[in-house]
A and B are shown apart, each in its own frame.
Chain A
């Protein structure tokens, strides 16, 4: 576990308990059987079934797309393209296999291709509004330094490690789901997560205060 770091609670996105407000890109509410039934209906051309699947995965898809591309409109385009590509390939989706990881694999692959072709770079700039909210100049300086250090460490991670840690810690996918999305063995995904955590811990170590 990452040792406690100086509180980042001068951030308006952090609630009273210090928990970062989790975006509403929650996991879909559909159960596996219900989702499987929807997929079969989509294969038969059912508009309502496809719309339901879109509704269930749209927010999370946007979240994943945005982390890949760093731009809202590009992410929206990617989400659209991924859903249509999934629809066109729906005949290849094997019954009994979860739709989510299969779909996010299509989205991630398309996002990576889009990023390569547009030569986009991840931005690590710190939000200006956060800089303005500091309890004291020294504390603020420490927070800014911490965030810059963490952002740099994240940017320095190998692509697969960064994808794995973001999908795991920020999007809530399981190791197995990430393995399917990234087309890697389960153990390799967990190794990437472990390695990424270690790198981020090392970056944060100078700022860490252990919980007592």
Chain B
């Protein structure tokens, strides 16, 4: 094997390993009280582990909610654009339901503001267009 080949590990060198170990500073594994070390780690880990056991519902919620944040953000942007001040949620003229796929397409579409509003509101009739045209700034 070519030792210069940086795409794969070089061959292990037992001679070098032996020489390096012989120069003296080998870890004194035989001097360590392993039971005591392990018990010490266990004791310090009690509280962090207990915190993890105590908070699983919130953590689980946080985990599955993460993918919804970008979609929620997009929906929020669209709601801000299409809802006019003073309009109640029970208003008959309010678009009912938002298709998130339409929202995604609308956000990336090369359209004017009125067209954008029409797309996300799901309105495509002339009155709706006129309404948008009249209310546009």
Contacts and interface: CB of A to CB of B under 8 A. Distances in A.
Interface of A: 1-5, 8, 11, 13-14, 18-20, 23-25, 42-47, 50-51, 54-55, 58-59, 62-63, 66-67, 70, 72, 75-76, 79-80, 83-84, 87-88, 91, 122-127, 130, 146-147, 150-151, 154, 165-166, 168-170, 174-175, 186-187, 190-191, 193-194, 197, 200, 204
B interface secondary structure, majority = helix
Contact of A169 (B12, B22, B59): B12
Interface stretch (B36-44, B69-77, B85-93, B125-133): B36-44
B28 A169 contact: no
Contact of A170 (B20, B34, B44, B59): B20
A51 B45 CA distance: 9
A150 B23 CA distance: 7
Residue of B4, B5, B14, B22 ringed by the most chain A CB atoms within 10 A: B22
A150 B45 contact: no
Interface stretch (B49-57, B96-104, B111-119): B49-57
B110 interface: no
A72 B42 CA distance: 20
A197 B16 CA distance: 8
Contacts of B19: 2, 5, 8, 146, 150, 200, 204
Contacts of B4: 194
Interface residues of B, number: 47
A72 B20 contact: no
